[in-house]
Structure 1
Amino acid sequence: MTDPKPDLTIRGVKVFEGLLDAPAQEAMVADLRKVVARAPLFSPMTPYGKPMRVRMTSAGRYGWFSDRKGYRYEPRHPSGVDWPPIPESVLRVWAAVSGTHREPDCCLVNYYTDGAKMGMHQDKDEADFGYPVVSVSLGDEALFRIGNLTRGGKTESVWLRSGDVLVMGDEARLVYHGIDRVKPDTSTLLDGGGRINLTLRVVDP
């Protein structure tokens, strides 16, 4: 994983196909099971009063959170415990592709099952958009849609497979993006199927 080069660049979004091989994926999932054991998955409420279909948790100094008060980062899991540290296996991916020596403050863990999807949105709850967002895909394939810096307009899509890594930085840091659907039974990595998406972010300035 030394100085990898992206296989695709779509609207400034860099896609590293298969950056993680099968043993690396399995080791990362084992690390994530430890995270979930300490900070269980939960379904946050949107500011509009609807529960998200994606279950999530976090690791790092902060965890991403949502309720009727809005979207934000919190220093503790809803249960009151501190978020677990970001696993070293995940930090190695950040170090390889982020282009910065600054470590991420948050690793958001999204778990997609049963037709869960993610609508088009921007990642803009962070203080400094000069740092990229790094995304890791594990498990079933997902159709990732890339839009524009403003809502609406033409979009492009790419299938993300288990082991793929994506970087949104520079001019692509604030593009709208989302997950249209997850294709079941396209990976045997996760017991019971489904998809895990990790997004690594720098939160503080």
Structure 2
Amino acid sequence: MTEPLFGVDREPTVLGPGAVHVPDWMSREQQEFLLRACVDWAAVRAPRSIVLPGGGRMSVRTFSLGRHWVPYRYDDDEEVLQVPEWLVRAARNGLEAAAAVEPSVATPGITYTPDTALVNLYGRGSTMGLHQDRDEASSAPVVSLSLGDACTFRFGTPEHRGRPYTDVRLESGDLVVFGGPSRMAFHGVPKVFDGTAPAWCREVLGAEPGRVNITLRESRPPTLDG
């Protein structure tokens, strides 16, 4: 399926086996709290523009919590802020919400404890090419939270960057979780709709927020319950 899923009902959507989009998952209060936390984190860990090994430069700016991410690995020699427990709980709740829609998103009997979060800041004209999140030693799901401007999120298959893929519009407060058969699916953001953030986002920041995306991951192997 390649056409955009820009429905008006904004119901949860299965993007692929083990991949779910849950619209409006966060309340305004939760979004405000998370956006203010991002501002505080960025004041300590200045977002940076990533230069890829091939010489290209990502158009988004980024910083890490838990473990410092560099393409295409984690660098434990650099100290970063820890992932707060409240964010771990939020990620677990998000995984539970996604599993209620698509059970294959998670493996039963495994405790989900993300130990790293990547915060991506999209300014005007920023995009993210199709890629896999493959730098983790764990196959646990990725939990993704969206704030600010809306975007087109493109979700493909684990095999390659080409079609088939699904385009879905993500709004501020939306949740995406992908795991199980889709854990290694190619995904990206080909377009951000500048200036579409809720007005309260600008009030919180005193400026245009752009798009803010937080993805939580387990970078180390998971542990069995009990």
Q: State the TM-score bracket (shorter-chain normalisation).
A: 0.7 to 0.9
For structure 1, the residue ranges without an aligned partner over 5 or more in a row are: 1-5
Q: Which amino acid aligns with 1:94?
A: A
CA–CA distance in structure 2, aligned partners of residues 128 and 89 of structure 1: 21
Q: Which amino acid aligns with 1:106?
A: T
Residue 217 of structure 2: aligned partner: 201
Residue 143 of structure 2: aligned partner: 134
- Bigger fraction of residues in helix: 2
CA–CA distance in structure 2, aligned partners of residues 95 and 155 of structure 1: 27
Query: Which structure has the larger Rg over C-alpha atoms?
Result: 2
Residue 173 of structure 1, aligned match among 159, 180, 183: 183
Partners of 1:32 and 1:87 within 8 A in 2: no
Runs of 4+ in 1 over 6 A off after TM superposition: none
Partners of 1:28 and 1:89 within 8 A in 2: no
Residue 193 of structure 2: aligned partner: 183
User: 1:7 aligned to 2:12?
Assistant: yes
Residue 3 of structure 1: aligned partner: none
For structure 2, the residue ranges without an aligned partner over 5 or more in a row are: 1-10, 97-109, 222-226
CA–CA distance in structure 1, aligned partners of residues 195 and 60 of structure 2: 18
User: 1:17 aligned to 2:23?
Assistant: yes
TM-score, normalised relative to structure 2: 0.79
What percentage of residue pairs aligned between the two structures are identical?
Answer: 34
CA deviation vs aligned residue, 1:73-119 (integer Å, no higher than 9, x gap): 1225xxx5x21122344223212023553321110000001211011
The structure showing larger relative contact order (alpha-carbon pairs under 8 Å, at least 6 residues apart) is 2
CA deviation vs aligned residue, 1:96-154 (integer Å, no higher than 9, x gap): 0235533211100000012110111111111121x000000000001000111111222
Residue 97 of structure 1: aligned partner: 94
Partners of 1:146 and 1:156 within 8 A in 2: yes
Name the SS for the 1:142 alignment partner. strand
Q: Which deviates more, 185-194 or 19-28? A: 185-194
CA–CA distance in structure 1, aligned partners of residues 49 and 115 of structure 2: 21
Aligned residues: 190
CA–CA distance in structure 1, aligned partners of residues 178 and 15 of structure 2: 10
Name the SS for the 1:134 alignment partner. strand
RMSD value over aligned CA atoms? 1.6
Partners of 1:14 and 1:168 within 8 A in 2: yes
TM-score, normalised relative to structure 1: 0.87
Partners of 1:140 and 1:194 within 8 A in 2: yes
Partners of 2:195 and 2:208 within 8 A in 1: no
